[in-house]
């Protein structure tokens, strides 16, 4: 059971998928010779050739648009968008074509396309490199949206995403790329947790904290800190954003009576609002306090030297926990 950084776990997952199915292709900018700016595709062009690992022209609409055509011809393209803020040139292809072609053709067309998007902040980078646009994709029917928080999930979820007959937007938490974790590579795709289930990653009785991608570790750190003060946080790693596994969170909230949702994306219009609305609807009589949200502010992602203030940190999570407990 190797101990892999999250980026390497995705690399291994891509490799396994490519070995299993010759129709799996990788497409993107600098993913071939260079192995991607985060080295997630390192070594794959060397081993699988240029026909299966394509360095593309610098055009995101082109990447997604041609991936659609390749999928129609039976391929399973996995597209890398170099950074979160550069996905918008492809937005038309994603929203009007990729997401809708199945419905438009009454299920006659299948679009097994994966879009890998590094997202989130905390790496001290420049504009457009640290954003969290997942809510924009979650609102678009026809897409599935998931994000792993650990190396093990990264390894398996990328394979599940590739195996999905539906288009999947796969958000990779940038600042966790170098976090290591054990990966059980001997299991099979059927054995591991389903792609669209949330997971309780820490048990606790006082407040449920729901997080995904980069904020899962943050929630766990907050839980450690809270435990020192005697507050037991239950941490749920959502894993899947569309569909949203409301049931797993509701089950937890029915026990704790309190929920704090944490994501890096701006709170306003973010995924947390949707979860809050659904949990409140389902658990209205169990809730001891309103669902609270901790997220980015309704601001363009700021310059790197101020991002620690923009991003939810342990303290802001704990502050919300305190407010929830005080309600």
Partner 1 sequence: MPGGDPEGMVQLLTPAGERVEHPDYDVALEPEELLGLYRDLVLVRRVDTEANALQRQGELGLWAGLLGQEAAQVGSGRALRPQDHAFPTYREHGVAWCRGVDPLGILEIFRGTSHGGWDPVAHRLHPYTLVIAAQLLPAVGCAMGVQRDGAVGTGDPGRDTAVIGYLGDGATSQGEASEALQWAAVFNAPVVIFCQNNQWAISEPVSVQARVPLHRRADGVGVPGVLVDGNDVLACLAVTRAALDRARSGGGPTFVEAYTYRMGAHTTSDDPTRYRSAAEVDVWRAKDPIDRFRRYLESEGLLDEDFTTALEAEAEQLAEHLRAGVRELPEPAPLAMFDHAYAEPHEQVEEEREEFAAYLASFDAAPSGGDPHQQPATVAGRTR
Ligand X SMILES: Cc1ncc(C[n+]2csc(CCOP(=O)(O)OP(=O)(O)O)c2C)c(N)n1
Q: Does 65 bind ligand X (CB under 6 A)?
A: no
User: Is 129 annotated as catalytic?
Assistant: yes
CA distance 24 to 28: 14
**Per CB under 8 A, which region of 140-148, 183-191, 201-209, 230-238 contacts partner 1?**
140-148
The separation between the first and the last C-alpha atoms of the chain, rounded to the nearest angstrom, is 45
User: Residue 115: beta bridge partners?
Assistant: 79, 169
**Per CB under 8 A, which region of 3-11, 182-190, 203-211, 295-303 contacts a second copy?**
295-303
Nearer to a second copy, 44 or 135 (CB): 135
**3-state class of 265 per DSSP?**
strand
Q: Which does 281 bind (CB under 5 to 8 A by kind): a second copy, ligand X, partner 1, none?
A: a second copy
Which residue in the set 101, 136, 209, 262 belongs to the binding site for partner 1 (CB under 8 A)? 101
Nearer to partner 1, 218 or 257 (CB): 218
∠265-292-85 over CA atoms, to 5°? 0
**3-state class of 5 per DSSP?**
strand
**3-state class of 68 per DSSP?**
helix
CA distance 290 to 260: 9
Which residue in the set 19, 50, 58, 224 belongs to the binding site for ligand X (CB under 6 A)? 58
Sequence-distant (≥ 6) Cβ neighbours of residue 77 within 8 angstroms: 24, 25, 26, 27, 66, 67, 70, 71, 113, 114
- Shortest distance in whole angstroms from residue 186 CB to partner 1: 26
Between the alpha carbon of residue 135 and those of residues 37, 100, 141, 248, 268, the distances in Å are: 25, 18, 12, 20, 10
Q: Which does 182 bind (CB under 5 to 8 A by kind): ligand X, partner 1, a second copy, none?
A: none
Cβ neighbours around 43 below 10 Å, total? 12
Q: Does 80 bind ligand X (CB under 6 A)?
A: no
CA distance 86 to 90: 8
- Shortest distance in whole angstroms from residue 96 CB to a second copy: 6
Q: 251 to 270, contacts with partner 1 by CB under 8 A?
A: 267-268
Q: Does 289 bind a second copy (CB under 8 A)?
A: yes
Interface residues with a second copy (CB under 8 A)? 85, 88-89, 91-92, 95-96, 99-100, 103-104, 127-128, 135-136, 138-139, 141-142, 242, 244, 265-266, 268-274, 276-278, 280-281, 284, 289-293, 297-300, 327
For the annotated catalytic residues, the residue numbers are 129
């Amino acid at each position: 059971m190797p101990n892999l950084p999250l980026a390497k776990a995705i690399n291994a997952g891509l490799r396994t998928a490519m070995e299993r199915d010759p129709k799996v292709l990788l497409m993107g900018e600098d993913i071939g010779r260079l192995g991607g700016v985060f080295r997630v595709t390192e070594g794959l062009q060397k081993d699988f050739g240029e026909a299966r690992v394509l360095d593309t022209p610098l055009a995101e609409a082109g990447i997604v648009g041609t991936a659609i055509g390749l999928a129609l011809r039976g391929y399973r393209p996995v597209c890398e968008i170099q950074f979160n803020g550069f996905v918008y040139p492809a937005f038309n292809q994603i929203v009007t074509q990729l997401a809708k072609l199945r419905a438009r053709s009454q299920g006659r067309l299948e679009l097994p396309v994966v879009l890998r998007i590094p997202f989130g902040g905390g790496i001290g980078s420049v504009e457009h490199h640290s954003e969290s646009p997942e809510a924009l994709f979650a609102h678009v029917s026809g897409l599935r949206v998931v994000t792993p928080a650990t190396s093990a999930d990264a390894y398996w979820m990328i394979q599940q995403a590739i195996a999905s007959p539906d288009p999947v937007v796969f958000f990779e938490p940038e600042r966790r790329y170098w976090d290591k974790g054990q990966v059980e590579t001997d299991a099979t795709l059927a054995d591991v947790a389903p792609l669209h289930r949330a997971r309780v990653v820490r048990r606790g009785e006082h407040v449920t904290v729901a997080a995904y991608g980069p904020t899962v570790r943050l929630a766990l750190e907050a839980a450690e800190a809270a435990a020192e003060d005697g507050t037991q946080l239950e941490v749920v790693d959502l894993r899947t954003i569309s569909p949203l596994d409301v049931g797993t969170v509701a089950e937890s909230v029915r026990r704790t009576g309190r929920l704090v949702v944490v994501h890096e994306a701006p709170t306003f219009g973010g995924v947390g609002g949707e979860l809050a609305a659904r949990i409140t609807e389902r658990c209205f009589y169990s809730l001891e306090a309103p669902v609270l949200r901790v997220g980015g502010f309704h601001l363009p992602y700021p310059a790197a030297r101020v991002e620690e203030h923009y991003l939810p940190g342990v303290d802001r999570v704990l502050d919300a926990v305190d407010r929830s407990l005080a309600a």
